[in-house]
Chains A and B, each alone.
Chain A
Amino acid sequence: MLTLQCPYCGVQADETELSAGGEAHIERHGPGSSDEAFQEYLFSRENPFGVHFERWRHSHGCGKWFHAARNTVTLEVYGTYPAQTTEPPADIRKRISGVAPGWTWRFLG
């Protein structure tokens, strides 16, 4: 069972208390963008074997969206951080590099 700490209310929230929100840090491309960029935004998703960044919502708790960095293979959770950011904070990336050297994820790594 996945347990994530909600960065807003601080509780160790069980997976069943949360709602999954898909991949994190997707850059939106709307009207006026190129077809390629729009297609990328709409359909292209990572399906990593390892480090992954996701959006979650504490839907049965405080109701806030947040981000989580975790490993899809080991189920290790590297950390959670608020939604108001376009990329993972440096301390979480450093922590990941410590335990999973050479990791890559989209534009990161």
Chain B
Amino acid sequence: MSETISALNNAGFSGLVRIDETGLQGMITLRGDLSLATVKKVATTASGAAFPGQRQITVSDTGALAWMSPDELLILCPYEDVSDRLAKMTKSLGNTNALAVDVSDARAIFAISGEDARDVMAKLCPVDLHPEVFKPGEIRRTRLAQIAAAIWMEDDDTFRLICFRSVAQYAYDALKVAAAAGSAVGFHAAQDPA
């Protein structure tokens, strides 16, 4: 059996902010009618987190549950738990018109942390990241430079980012340029009333 490694094998960079490819992360996509009780129950049971509202991400001890689109959820869990949880989900879904798929190896996940994290992300994404607008708990699928990505905040100084594995190197390089030493803009720090 070959050893599984993540897209960039835990690459890291320190500049304006700390950028880490955080390694193997279990991810399960669940597509279906999110108003169905069965789908809700399967999602909350598999993730251990509360059912998220529009554009919300809810966190549990072992994972998270994210609203990706009106008919799509993403379940985050430990990489080694994916096949177990997926088997249970598929069983619970039964004949429901919904689909759960393991996408762990199709994606890459990053952490961007530091005081300037909002500035770094705002250089790459056309999103209003003002602290009063974009807060922890919201997940935003958007454009990161030239690729699609989903971003959310773990706390006030830490972003998490998911993109396709095939563009992980591009995302990492783009983030490194945006976080290069000497490129601080101090925009969001200036907005902070404190």
Contact = CB atoms under 8 A, between A and B. Distances in A.
A10 B55 contact: yes
A62 B128 contact: no
Interface stretch (B17-25, B43-51, B92-100, B136-144): B136-144
A87 interface: no
Given A9-B54, A10-B54, A16-B126, A60 B69 contact: no
B126 A9 contact: no
B143 A12 contact: no
Contacts of B140: 11, 61
A7 B154 CA distance: 26
A4 to B, nearest CB: 12
B54 A12 contact: no
Interface in A1-48: 8-14, 16-17
A8 B55 contact: no
B70 A61 contact: no
Contacts of B70: 8-9, 62, 64
Contact of A17 (B55, B69, B126, B128): B126
Contacts, number: 39
Q: Main SS of chain A's interface residues?
A: loop
Contacts of A109: none
Interface residues on A, range: 10 to 19
Contacts of A13: 126
B68 interface: yes
B184 interface: no
Contacts of A11: 55, 127, 140, 142
A8 B72 CA distance: 12
B148 interface: yes
Interface of B: 54-55, 68-70, 72, 126-128, 140-143, 148
Interface of A: 8-14, 16-17, 59-64
11 contacts: A9-B70, A10-B54, A11-B127, A11-B140, A11-B142, A16-B143, A17-B126, A60-B141, A62-B69, A62-B70, A62-B72
